[in-house]
Structure 1
Amino acid sequence: MKIKSCPIRVKAGPEDGLEEGEFLVYPSTFTRTPDSYGDVVAKGAFIDTIAAWKESGNVLPGLYGHRLDDPDFFVAAALDMGEDDHGWWVKGVFDLESPKGAQVYRLVKGRRINQLSFAFETLDEGSVELEDGGKANELRKVNVYEFSFVPVGANQDTSIVAVKALADQIAADVKAGRAISAKNEQVLREAAEKVIGAAKDIEEVLSAALAVEEENEDQDQASGTGPSPEKRPDQAPPVKASPNPSVSLAAELLLLSVTDVAEKGVLL
């Protein structure tokens, strides 16, 4: 799964001629200026995925920050969408009964959030020559999973989804024989350092908590107030779950991303 983002002028609420809670956005435009990944999007790239969403009867979700792991961050929904000469447009509505939905709506109306991003899978792409003689990778058919309101464009972000997308992009560059940008490599390195640092912090907290728990169990058994289960020599110790699933997910995705890149010959 990859992500794309762009700064936009969001229309939202009565001030922009819409109903309360409604918005109109362009998650992607058909500008022929390559983005930081060297991609441009062809007109028609979203036609099939738009039709598939409409035919399915399901609703394309609008998220905050690509937070697929937490239903609280499903802050909006698409009411309608389509393509025009400018790009892929979405008319949607915020979930104003959700605290986060109402908050993001206020941020968007106040022009404090003005960037949008979307998660997608590339189904068809190819090299294309631009009017200025330069070349770009043209996305010709994509499958969209969600769109997100973001404070900073995903190309500059080190969120888990962005890190995974960046690792995928580096792996694709290596496979295609393209040079890896120093900026992309540095972003991935910095993200790895943050995740490793967070994992170490959590390990220390878990170790301390486990020590306290074992001490309490020993005291209970000594006083006769607690159970004294039989322990077999070959019995494995229980696995302690991380109190922060997001960090566990981060570490897992980052490990998969770096492994995928390493298998294709990139030394990070």
Structure 2
Amino acid sequence: MTVKTKTVDIEVKADAPDGEGQFTGYASVFGNKDSYGDVVLPGAFAESLKTFGPNGSGIPVYWRHRMDDPYMLIGQTIEAKEDERGLFVHVQLDTSINNGAQTYKLLKAGLVKQMSFAYDVVEGALVESENDGYYYELRKLTIHEVSVVPVGANQETEILAVKSAALAVAAGVKAGQIVPTEAREDLEGAITALKGALATTTDQEKAAGTPDAKDEEPPAAKSEEQTTVPAARALAEATIQGLL
């Protein structure tokens, strides 16, 4: 199973009154369809938060999901809880190390305003609504860490457009509906396009000297924030698996 990451474009506040190096923000928000076509539901983090310390303390905080680098472990949560808006976190950065101090400086200056979290899906389902069309409900998640990130996840718009168009067809197939020939051809074309995108990103990785995403440890430590090529590769792989 590949660890996934998700970014929230929401301002964090580095003016927490309790001490130097502290900030508050939301690592996830509930109920909105994000660029990946996912919706996180209230309660998704409830069980996972119980595996950490009192009040959700002790969740590792990284810079850009760099779990492969101990120097990028820049702090931990003092508190993490679900409220009506999403997953609220109160973080203590380690300002005794350069990376922690610099991150706090950027937060205070308003130059960094986003958070992200790494997770595994425990329970989810493809659903449809009148307003949002097809999307994937994330109902129960295992959270591994939260990160401060400078830029949100690359949306890989071409791949996502193919994914969005194909999801409705795939949903009909899985529901046992008779799918018209034209629709089946659309689905086959979507999978072909995604495989082409995957081949392209693999070639780009080789040209750039980027290691194969499957050989990384942890698998998704770099997949979303460090470079758009592994992001496209991971997204194409996940989408193909979801459609087949």
Q: Could you give the per-residue CA deviations for residues 178-208 of structure 1, whole angstroms, max 9, x where no partner exists?
A: 7659998787566534421233xxxxxxxxx
8 Å Cα contact 1:36-1:155 kept in structure 2: no
Distance 2:143 2:21 in 1: 23
8 Å Cα contact 2:112-2:150 kept in structure 1: yes
The aligned runs of 1:205-220 (5 Å cut-off) are none
Q: CA separation of 1:36/1:78 partners in 2, compared to 1, >3 Å: closer, same or farther?
A: same
Looking at CA atoms only, which structure, 1 or 2, has the larger radius of gyration?
1
Q: How far is the alpha carbon of 1:59 from its aligned partner?
A: 2.1
Structure 1 outlier segments of 4+, above 6 Å: 181-187
Q: How far is the alpha carbon of 1:9 from its aligned partner?
A: 1.3
Distance 1:135 1:143 in 2: 23
Distance 2:31 2:205 in 1: 35
Partner of 1:86: 85
Q: Could you give the per-residue CA deviations for residues 197-249 of structure 1, whole angstroms, max 9, x where no partner exists?
A: 233xxxxxxxxxxxxxxxxxxxxxxxxxxxxxxxxxxxxxxxxxxxxxxx546
Which of 170, 189, 192 is residue 177 of structure 1 equivalent to? Answer: 170
Distance 1:95 1:103 in 2: 10
Distance 1:152 1:23 in 2: 18
3-state secondary structure, aligned to 2:7: strand
Q: CA separation of 1:66/1:198 partners in 2, compared to 1, >3 Å: closer, same or farther?
A: same
Which deviates more from structure 2 when the two are superposed, residues 177-186 or residues 88-97? Answer: 177-186
Q: List runs of 5+ in structure 2 lacking aligned partners.
A: 172-186, 217-229
Q: List runs of 5+ in structure 1 lacking aligned partners.
A: 158-165, 200-246
CA-based RMSD of the aligned residues comes to 3.6
Q: Does 1:8 align with 2:1?
A: no
Q: Does 1:198 align with 2:161?
A: no
The aligned runs of 1:17-56 (5 Å cut-off) are 17-32=17-32, 34-54=33-53
Distance 2:105 2:42 in 1: 32
8 Å Cα contact 2:35-2:155 kept in structure 1: no
Distance 2:212 2:73 in 1: 18
Work out the percentage of aligned pairs sharing the same amino acid.
33
The aligned runs of 1:1-268 (5 Å cut-off) are 1-13=3-15, 16-32=16-32, 34-54=33-53, 59-130=58-129, 132=131, 134-156=133-155, 177=170, 191-199=201-209, 247-248=210-211, 250=213, 252-253=215-216, 261=237
